[in-house]
């Protein structure tokens, strides 16, 4: 199979252009950036290549405006892509530097430059190889323990990025959060425009589209029927789906992780995404799965209750479920060239 025709997940790492120019090296790193997690697997990023750096641009045309009117989750997704570039660069013996623009209102989110040589560590290699293995898994999780060294490493990354991270397996907290989640799900699914937007990102297992997600894990423990997308559009099943998600939090989410920041700013959201990728890759290295449970955060009134529940003086940005689960189908990715402007 020719290198130019393979998908990002099939990239041959040994083809990295060590002797090439910086622009060639940066272009190669984008193969790992596009494997970052994103809301609805919308892949809402664009990249502008220069001879000495990459600019990360948000693609607002891929926003889910019903639940993300401020493009908060979209920006977090772009931050996750930034971290994937950082991890890949260090593996290939290059030291990246992330530079934020002075104008926080533009679509230009960050710039990455390769500023020095880097001596890759064993940890660098572990995180890099986890990029292709990481996947969002919305299934039912069994009990898990995060190794202490992984917890410490994730907390250290959070401090470095100025982001707060907390873990809990407290049953009382999970039950309270599960109730907030069920309430948020019922409310969202009562809105016809939310159902239409959500359904627009649903894909069947045989879809050829390079984005979106299957319905597995959102509202059933088994794969959805071919009519799932139509059902989502036209029927309000908020009560049943709310109960399903409530039970999933209580009985099939051994650990919850909460990421929060002091403020809702573009830079804070980018750093949230950087920490997100860091956390997910480190969990992958020890065989743990994760998925998002953000419905309550997407509702402004409930977001305040989430902050109070988890004792966050800051702004909660993401809640993740963590545990052990069987692998699921890989989500598709757009070709790298389609993401370059």
Output DSSP code: residue 340: B
Q: Which candidate, 231, 302, 331, 271, places its Cα nearest to that of 75?
A: 271
Higher pLDDT, 216 or 48: 48
Question: Angle, to 10 degrees, between the axis of helix 192-200 and the axis of helix 171-189?
Answer: 100
Could you count the other beta carbons within 10 Å of the beta carbon of residue 61? 8
The mean pLDDT of 76-88, rounded to a whole number, is: 98
| Paired tokens of 124 | 């660098």
Domains contained in the chain, CATH given: 3-134 (3.40.109.30), 164-323 (3.40.109.10)
Question: Angle, to 10 degrees, between the axis of helix 122-131 and the axis of helix 72-91?
Answer: 130
Q: What is the mean pLDDT of the chain?
A: 93
Which range is least confidently modeled, 139-143, 188-192, 210-214, 224-228? 224-228
The mean pLDDT of 331-337, rounded to a whole number, is: 94
Given a cut of 50, whether residue 2 has pLDDT beyond it is: no
pLDDT attached to residue 210: 94
pLDDT attached to residue 1: 37
- Torsion 122-124-126-128 (CA) sign: negative
Q: Per residue in 201-244, pLDDT tens?
A: 998 878 889 999 987 767 776 655 567 888 899 999 999 999 99
Pairing state of beta strands 255-261 and 108-117? unpaired
Q: Which candidate, 324, 254, 256, 255, places its Cα nearest to that of 287?
A: 324
pLDDT attached to residue 4: 45
Output DSSP code: residue 107: S
Predicted structure pTM score:
0.95
pLDDT attached to residue 329: 87
Length of the chain: 341
At residue 79's C-alpha, the angle toward residues 272 and 5, to 5°, is: 145
Which range is least confidently modeled, 100-104, 209-213, 281-285, 328-332? 100-104
Given a cut of 70, whether residue 3 has pLDDT beyond it is: no
Q: How many helices (H) and strands (E) does the chain have?
A: 11, 8
How confident is residue 7, by pLDDT bands cut at 50, 70 and 90?
A: confident
Given a cut of 90, whether residue 312 has pLDDT beyond it is: no
Given a cut of 90, whether residue 138 has pLDDT beyond it is: yes
State the first-to-last Cα distance of the chain, in angstroms, to the nearest integer.
26
């Amino acid at each position: 199979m020719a290198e130019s025709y393979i998908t990002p997940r099939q990239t041959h790492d040994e083809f990295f252009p060590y002797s090439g120019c910086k622009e060639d090296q940066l272009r190669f790193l984008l193969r790992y950036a596009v494997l970052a997690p994103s809301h609805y697997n919308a892949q809402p990023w664009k990249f502008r290549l220069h001879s000495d750096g990459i600019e990360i641009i948000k693609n607002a045309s891929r926003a889910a405006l019903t639940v993300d009117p401020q493009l908060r989750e979209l920006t977090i997704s772009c931050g996750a892509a930034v971290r994937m570039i950082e991890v890949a660069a260090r593996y290939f013996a290059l030291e990246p530097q992330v530079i934020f623009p002075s104008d926080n209102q533009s679509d230009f989110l960050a710039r990455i430059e390769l500023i020095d040589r880097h001596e890759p560590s064993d940890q660098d290699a572990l995180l890099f190889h986890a990029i292709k293995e990481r996947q969002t898994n919305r299934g039912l999780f069994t009990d898990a323990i995060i190794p202490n060294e992984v917890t410490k490493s994730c907390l250290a990354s959070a401090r470095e990025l100025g982001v707060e991270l907390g873990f809990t397996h407290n049953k009382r907290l999970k039950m309270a959060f599960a109730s907030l989640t069920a309430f948020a799900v019922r409310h969202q699914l009562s809105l016809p425009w939310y159902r239409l937007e959500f359904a627009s990102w649903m894909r069947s297992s045989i879809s050829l589209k390079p984005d979106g997600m299957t319905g597995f894990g959102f509202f059933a423990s088994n794969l959805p029927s071919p009519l799932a997308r139509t059902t989502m559009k036209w029927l309000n099943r908020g009560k049943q789906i709310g109960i399903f998600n409530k039970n999933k939090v209580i009985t099939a989410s051994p650990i919850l992780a909460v990421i929060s920041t002091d403020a809702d700013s573009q830079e804070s959201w980018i750093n949230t995404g950087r920490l997100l990728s860091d956390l997910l890759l480190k969990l992958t290295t020890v065989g743990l799965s994760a998925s998002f449970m953000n419905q309550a955060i997407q509702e402004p009134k409930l977001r305040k209750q989430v902050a109070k529940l988890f004792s966050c003086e800051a702004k909660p940005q993401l809640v993740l479920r963590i545990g052990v689960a069987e692998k699921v189908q890989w989500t598709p990715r757009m070709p790298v060239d389609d993401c370059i402007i």
